[in-house]
Amino acid sequence: MKRLWWILGMVLLASLLLVGCQPGPRAAYGGVIKIGHVAPLTGDIPKVGEEGKFALEMWLEDLEKAGGLEVGGVTYRIEVIHEDNESKAESSAAAATKLIAEDKVLAIIGPYASKQAIPTGEVADRNKTPMISPWSTNPRTTKGRPFVFRAAFLDDFQGFVLAKFMQEEFGAQKIAILYDVASDYPKGLAEFVKQSAEELGMEVVAFESFTTKDRDFSAQLTKIINSDAEILFTPQYYDEVPLIVKQAHELGWTKPIVGSDSWGSPELMNLCGDDCVGSFFSTHWAVAGAKGAAKEFIDRFQSKYGYAPGDVAALAWDSAHLLQKAIQDCGKLTGNLEEDRQCIRDALANISEYEGITGKMRFNAEGDPVKCAIIVRINENYDFEFYKQVCP
Amino acid sequence: MSIQQIFNGLQWGSFYALIALGYSMVYSILMLFNFAHGDVFMVGAYIGLFVATAVLGIAASGLLPLPPAVTFVLVLVLTMFLTSFVGMAVERVAYRPLRDAPRASAAITGLMVGIFLETGNLALLGASRRTFPPLIETVTYTLGPITVTNIKILTIVLALLLMLALNLFIQKTKTGMAMRAMSVDYAAVPLMGVPMDRVIVLTFALGSALAGAAGVLFSMTYPVLEPYMGLLIGWKAFVAAILGGRGSILGAVLGGFILGFIEILVAALFVSTLRDLIAYSIVLLILTFRPYGLFGEEYSARLRI
């Protein structure tokens, strides 16, 4: 121990001397700030990874134009290292470990789905590296993990909003839920909606599940249709929603179908078409009806990549800017990875208000944002149209 | 339990049965489980997608106005034809050089070929999902409590017809006779002057053509295509082939339908959360009492080579 202090003291002294030789403050890390990005670039939801990557590329483009990021009088170049997690929990944790230990990143953006964000958050927190998951909405991602943050609102809040919406909008008394029992996000949200619905005095008459990669839902949907449910709620991803909605209609379901933020991918309507028109889902982001900075972001993304950005891109963009603000709020980078990571974490926790494109937000003690949810309706032009806003 | 669920089970079982046939046919001759078969089904679905896009494009351009029924038959037949070449290529490249190698080597090779097909597709076409264009307009019929679409009926009927045709081929033609003979004695048949390679290639071609047909019918019902779509259904169809009895054609068909029914009925009668657990426990139970499957003979599980 004594020896360690001795070495530490020498290193400190040496660095002081080195700093002393410089005319101004010296750039840490050779003037490059490395940020890790863990995303599903292949696997079940590659579009999610692609959108996140594009949003970060736009962010880097802005920084490049500005000549870099100024922190405490020193200008840094930001480098983003993209790691593919193949939409798998194991690969995601491994990618984060690599980024933290080998690439020595200051912070991580991602992963997106809760299935990967929950185990990856564990890795980031254990290694005291700040992580912002743009899209994960399961409480366990940030719970008891001071280094883990998120840009999306939580599943319990979303579950409450959805239950309230179904009751107020349709006067529903009986609802049916169909979800993937093997994936954290749908399972968590299905349970929260069930709980909130029951608290609001509604009855969940069918609570049916399936397993990831299933393509046939006829048995469950037949049960749902035979129950006297007035609404079908399904918190699935864009590759399953078209199959569920189409099969429900083919089996004779004509009542409303409601979804959650996982529906909000531009890819959804390419796969689903007319079957999804008229459905509702809760989300962080609506393209149709956007104003101000959000509109600017949408136009730029659209002209650059050829499609309108979904909530993933918007949340990745906000995550990157929250991180940028935290790094700047930090005031100065010491070059000591441990200290700088701690400093960025503290700065993130202390952001008092940030005006993002997905709305005004700040972090609560758990690292979860305090913000509003949006309900959108899928209209006849296949747009996700702003329907109403629900605040906590 | 409703009549509706019987229809659901019939449709779902049709896919298992069509794919299980490919496993069983190859097994009966080569004593080999072609683990790339699920991915041949996936390739079949993609071939179906390209054929459908091309045929619909031609029909839409006005050069050759085709009614939907003709389009559908054309897509189905062309896809079956093209997919059979995938099976033949797999046999030629992966299995023929290993014909005298231990069976385990061939089985592992099959797994590798499967991974090659999946990742090759991923590299060529990217990870984005593809939609299968509607070939026939979906018509929904409601008869009291039952709702069926024309596609559901078409799937069930066509699957049964294809199985019937296969059975006729195996029972009535000379090549079919050679196949049956080889499944009894692999070594003696070539001595009788039967061209072994040709029979084996044809077996792969037939199995793959059926997988191609399953690919088209599957994509019409579940029109979201992805490179790993053949994985789970391939494994489950393999279970169906084992359940029916290794190497038995009738067994594969019945195994497929039974497995489809078990899955649907368990979800319908119990909690769907436990579907696979209960469904595959039932399969295990059946195999405990009938280790050779429902129609398997003891000799079909014994190494003959």
Diameter of chain A measured on Cα atoms: 80
Q: Is A243 in contact with B152 (Cβ distance < 8 A)?
A: no
pLDDT at A258 over 50: yes
| Shortest CA distance from A86: residue in chain B | B127
Query: What pLDDT was estimated at residue B302?
Result: 56
pLDDT band at A261 (very low <50, low <70, confident <90, very high): confident
pLDDT band at A23 (very low <50, low <70, confident <90, very high): very low
CB < 8 Å to A246, chain B: 223
Interface probe for A, chosen from B1, B2, B4 (most Cβ of A below 10 Å), is B4
Listed by start position, the domains of chain A span 30-152+293-371, 155-283
| Shortest CA distance from B265: residue in chain A | A219
* Interface A:B, Cβ pairs < 8 A: 94
Which residue stretches of chain B have pLDDT < 50?
304-305
Rounded-to-integer distance, Cα A110 and Cα A1, Å: 37
Query: What pLDDT was estimated at residue A392?
Result: 63
> Cα–Cα distances in Å, from A55 out to A84, A300, A310, B167?
16, 10, 10, 56
pLDDT at A293 over 60: yes
Query: What pLDDT was estimated at residue A21?
Result: 47
Q: What is the mean pLDDT of residues A236-262?
A: 92
- Give A349 or B297, the one with higher predicted confidence: A349
Report whether B111 contacts B36 (CB < 8 A): yes
CB-based contact, B231 to chain A, within 8 Å: yes
Listed by start position, the domains of chain B span 13-229
- Give A117 or A154, the one with higher predicted confidence: A117
CA atoms within 13 A on the CB side of A28: 23
Give CA A354 to chain center in angstroms: 16
pLDDT band at A311 (very low <50, low <70, confident <90, very high): confident
CB < 8 Å to A44, chain B: 226
For A206-247, the pLDDT digits (tens) are 999 998 888 999 999 999 999 999 999 999 998 899 999 999
What phi, psi does B304 have (nearest 5°)?
-110, -10
Q: Which of B5, B221, B224 sits opposite A239 (nearest CB)?
A: B224
Query: What pLDDT was estimated at residue B22?
Result: 93
In terms of DSSP bridges, do strands A231-233 and A203-210 run parallel, antiparallel, or are they unpaired?
Answer: unpaired
Q: What is the mean pLDDT of residues A25-53?
A: 90
Query: What pLDDT was estimated at residue B90?
Result: 94
Q: What is the mean pLDDT of residues A106-114?
A: 94
Q: Is A223 in contact with B268 (Cβ distance < 8 A)?
A: yes
CB-based contact, B219 to chain A, within 8 Å: no
- Give B244 or A392, the one with higher predicted confidence: B244
Q: Which letter, b or e, does each residue of A265-279 get, where b requires 16 or more Cβ atoms within 10 Å of its Cβ?
A: bbbbbbbbbebbeeb
Supply B178's token pair.
Answer: 């050679």
- Average model confidence (pLDDT) across chain A: 89
Q: Is A218 in contact with B233 (Cβ distance < 8 A)?
A: no
Write the DSSP string, B20-59: HHHHHHHHHHHS---TTHHHHHHHHHHHHHHHHHHHHHHH
For A122-157, the pLDDT digits (tens) are 999 999 999 999 999 888 999 999 999 999 888 888
Query: What pLDDT was estimated at residue A348?
Result: 95
Query: What pLDDT was estimated at residue A14?
Result: 59
CB < 8 Å to A47, chain B: 128
Q: Is A209 in contact with B273 (Cβ distance < 8 A)?
A: yes
A30-152+293-371: CATH number: 3.40.50.2300
| Per-window interface: B 135-194 vs A, CB < 8 A | 138, 140, 142, 145, 147, 149, 152
pLDDT at A386 over 70: yes
pLDDT at A25 over 70: no
Query: What pLDDT was estimated at residue A3?
Result: 66
Query: What pLDDT was estimated at residue A20?
Result: 46
Q: Is A46 in contact with B149 (Cβ distance < 8 A)?
A: no
What phi, psi does A232 have (nearest 5°)?
-105, 125
Lowest-confidence range among A42-56, A278-292, B15-29, B114-128?
A278-292
A155-283: CATH number: 3.40.50.2300
CA atoms within 13 A on the CB side of A22: 11
Question: Which residues are CB-contacts of A292 (< 8 A; sequence separation ≥ 6)?
Answer: none
Closest CA to B162 of B240, B239, B95, B252: B252
Burial class (CB in 10 A: 0-12, 13-18, 19+), B161: exposed
Q: A111 preceded by cis ω (within 30°)? A: yes
Rounded-to-integer distance, Cα B277 and Cα A290, Å: 47
Burial class (CB in 10 A: 0-12, 13-18, 19+), B104: exposed
Query: What pLDDT was estimated at residue B303?
Result: 52
For A174-200, the pLDDT digits (tens) are 999 999 998 888 999 999 999 999 999
Query: What pLDDT was estimated at residue B305?
Result: 44
Q: Is A219 in contact with B229 (Cβ distance < 8 A)?
A: no
CA distance B104 to chain A (A): 28
CB < 8 Å to A215, chain B: 218, 222, 224, 229, 233
